[in-house]
Amino acid sequence: MSQKLIDAITDMRENDALSITDEMLQSGTNPLDVLEACRKAMEVVGQRFEDGDCFVPELILAGEVLKQISEKAKPLMKEQAVSAKDLGKVVIGTVEGDIHSIAKDIVAFMLDVSGFEVTDLGVDVPPVKFVESVKETGAAVVGLSGFLTLAYDPMKATVKALKAAGLNEVKVMIGGGQVDEQIREYTGADAYGRDAMAAVALAKQWLGG
């Protein structure tokens, strides 16, 4: 059954995935097993994205399916789900002056389903907010997203602010459609990632996941 659910999710058969979930839950499958199948399915989707066999529509659809399945499973759960988020903490946001959320949301979602505890600061986030959040959460990785070239300078300012606050150990990754290696160098960030899975790979590399 679990495998059928995994296949339905990874083949992007939304209706099948939902009906299999219903069947599983009605026949008394532990909701935690259902969620575990989802996690495995997302691993496959992520891998396919990395391999160039899956694209943004599939990430978005899989995310949507996942949301619906957890809405079905969560109310039936007796025990609290043991947090699978043990890979480490990441703070993410779209930098100051930039109000775009779509890319940042996809990156945050992929980090989340990959097992990171993600603090999403939203959009138009000033440097001090990143600093405060890192201090509060103890996150070891910060992700900065920016849609437009106007984000270059705020990214640079954010990296600087983190350093100025003494958070030298924190690794900073940046990304967005107009971000590349030259901008990584310009901003002083530790790495730049081309897409959402690159963000996951970087975080894993740094946090040893």
Partner 1 sequence: MFAIPENWGELTARERQDARINSWALAQIEFASTEAEQGYRKRTQMIKNVVQLKKPERVPVMPWAGVYPAEYGGITVQEAMYDYEKLGDAWKKFNADFVPDCLVSAALIGPGKAFDMLDVKNYHWPGHGTPAGTSYQCVEGEYMTADEYDLLIADPSNYFMRSYLPRVLGALEPWQMLGPWTDIVELPFVGLALIPAGIPPVQQAFQKFLEAGQAIMEWISAVGPIEQTSVASLGVPPTIGGFTKAPFDTLGDTLRGTRGIMLDMYRQPDKLIAAMERIVPIAIDMGVRNATAHDNPLVFIPLHKGADGFMSNKDFEKFYWPTLKAVLMGLIEAGTVPYLFVEGGYSQRLDVITDPDIPAGHTVWMFDQTDMKEVKAKLGGWACFGGNVPGSLLKAGTPQEVEAYVKQLIDDVAQDGGYILANGAVLDNTTPENLHAMIDTGKTYGVYG
Helices 196-207 and 31-50: crossing angle in degrees, nearest 10, is: 110
Stretch that binds ligand B12, among 4-12, 16-24, 100-108, 157-165 (CB under 6 A): 100-108
Does 148 help bind ligand B12 (rule: CB under 6 A)? yes
Between vectors from CA 73 to CA 72 and to CA 74, what angle results, nearest 5°?
Answer: 105
By the rule CB under 6 A, 102 interacts with ligand B12: yes
Dmax (CA) for the chain in angstroms is 57
Distances in Å between the Cα of 73 and the Cα atoms of 102, 130, 192 are 27, 34, 36
145 strand-pairing partners: 94, 175
Q: Decide which of ligand B12, partner 1, none touches 60; Cβ closer than 5 to 8 Å per partner kind.
A: partner 1
Give the Cα separation of 16 and 3 in Å (integer): 13
Q: Is 47 in the site for partner 1 (CB under 8 A)?
A: no
Which of 19, 47, 182, 205 contacts partner 1 by CB under 8 A?
Answer: 182
Among 116, 175, 183, 206, binds ligand B12 (CB under 6 A): 175
In the block, which residue shows the tokens 């081309």?
194
Nearer to partner 1, 30 or 101 (CB): 101
CA dihedral 151, 153, 154, 155 (to 10 degrees): 80
206 binding partner 1? (CB under 8 A) = no
- Residues 6 or more apart whose CB falls under 8 angstroms from that of 164 comprise none
103 binds ligand B12 (CB under 6 A): yes
CB of 17 to partner 1, least distance (A): 12
Question: 141 to 160, contacts with partner 1 by CB under 8 A?
Answer: 147-150, 152-153
User: With binding defined as CB under 6 A, does residue 149 bind ligand B12?
Assistant: yes
| 73-105: b (≥16 Cβ within 10 Å) or e | beeeeeeeeeeebebbbbbbbbbbbbebbebbb
- Sheet-wide strand order for 89-94: 117-120, 89-94, 141-145, 171-175, 191-192
CB under 5 to 8 A by kind: which of ligand B12, partner 1, none does 64 bind?
partner 1
Stretch that binds ligand B12, among 33-41, 114-122, 124-132, 142-150 (CB under 6 A): 142-150
Contact residues for partner 1 (CB under 8 A)? 12, 14, 53, 55-57, 60-61, 64, 97-102, 147-150, 152-153, 177-180, 182-183, 185-186, 195
Contact residues for ligand B12 (CB under 6 A)? 56, 102-104, 106-107, 143-145, 147-149, 173-178, 193, 195-196, 198-199
